[in-house]
Amino acid sequence: MARLVDAQNVTMQFGGLKAVNGVTMNIDEGEIVALIGPNGAGKTTFFNMLTGIYTPTEGKLTFNGETVGGKKPHVITRLGISRTFQNIRLFQNMTALENVMVGRHTQTHASALGAVLRTPAFKAEEARTTDAAFDGLRFVGLADKANELAKNLPYGDQRRLEIARALATEPTLLLLDEPAAGMNPQETQALNALVRRVRDRKVTILLIEHDMKVVMDLADRIYVLDFGELIAQGKPIEIQRNPKVIEAYLGSGAEALLAATEAKEAVAETAREAARAVADAEAAAKKEPTDG
């Protein structure tokens, strides 16, 4: 798999405070990677460095081999990184469709003069943008809400709309900042399914989330920050067994999470064994001599 994100000893310092301190991590193409830790651990600061809001004070941060530290957010978006926010940042007085159309701005090329004169080229591009925005709403399950104002949508729908707008930029890497925050169990389950569908579209995902059930269900690998420093990394089951992570973040819930993850792993292994048995039986059947 190709390396998408490579962070080497990255630090973000505000005065005497190091919000992120010497963090080294990487993300490969096709992964769902989670970044977890207590409030104030530096998770969103890392997002902000990766998307151009902050420039790292030390270290090197690259995306697809290109340094992103110091680049403007719109330039980084064109490189293939998009994000959602911890606090929903939709255009509240625009429709759901218009919100996603705004997200397509990096894919449009019409000039200001063309927009004023409503040239044929501008009209054709506007039609393509509208169609693509409808497709985006359909993908997240909001096609029937296209003409509703964003502020009138239920909370869970607003979260999904923000994901649709982020996907409208056609990213290679999608950053999700606490997408399950405030969701009920049914909405969370639907979110998990949506995130998997996004990955199926060959979009790599970096996820910040406090709901550990979501993290353990979705993530291929996990990085853990505490007071700006990386204290652990590994697969979900490794993170749940890590004493430093239990002490700093998971606490008393670690045991239940570990049991749930082990049960999930057991089910997955049973499925793999069944698939192998079927494959072996089919292979054996092909080798058997036929009458004749």
Within a domain: residue 69? yes
Tokens 């993300």 map to which residue? Answer: 27
More confident residue, 126 or 42: 42
Mean pLDDT of the chain: 86
Tell whether the model's pLDDT for residue 258 goes beyond 80. Answer: no
Tell whether the model's pLDDT for residue 290 goes beyond 80. Answer: no
CATH assignment at residue 14 = 3.40.50.300
* Residue range 148-164: mean pLDDT, rounded: 95
Domain containing residue 23: 3-249
Cβ atoms 228, 18 nearer than 8 A: yes
* Residue range 244-265: mean pLDDT, rounded: 63
* Residue range 259-265: mean pLDDT, rounded: 53
More confident residue, 250 or 9: 9
Tell whether the model's pLDDT for residue 50 goes beyond 60. Answer: yes
Q: Could you read off the pLDDT of 104-123 as tens digits, one per residue?
A: 877 655 655 555 566 666 56
* Residue range 166-174: mean pLDDT, rounded: 96
Q: Could you read off the pLDDT of 75-98 as tens digits, one per residue?
A: 999 999 999 998 889 999 999 999
Cβ atoms 269, 237 nearer than 8 A: no
Q: What is the pLDDT of residue 119?
A: 66
The span from the first CA to the last CA of the chain, in angstroms, equals 48
Give the whole-angstrom CA distance, residue 204 versus residue 198. 8
Within a domain: residue 279? no
% of the chain residues with pLDDT over 70: 81
Within a domain: residue 88? yes
Within a domain: residue 177? yes
Q: What is the pLDDT of residue 14?
A: 95
More confident residue, 153 or 107: 153
Biggest CA-to-CA distance, the chain: 85
The domain tally of the chain equals 1
Within a domain: residue 159? yes
240 contact partners, CB below 8 Å, separation of at least 6: 216, 246, 250, 254, 257, 258, 261
pLDDT category of residue 292 using cuts at 50, 70 and 90? very low
Within a domain: residue 271? no
Q: In this structure, what token pair is assigned to residue 74?
A: 């719109």
Within a domain: residue 182? yes
Within a domain: residue 269? no
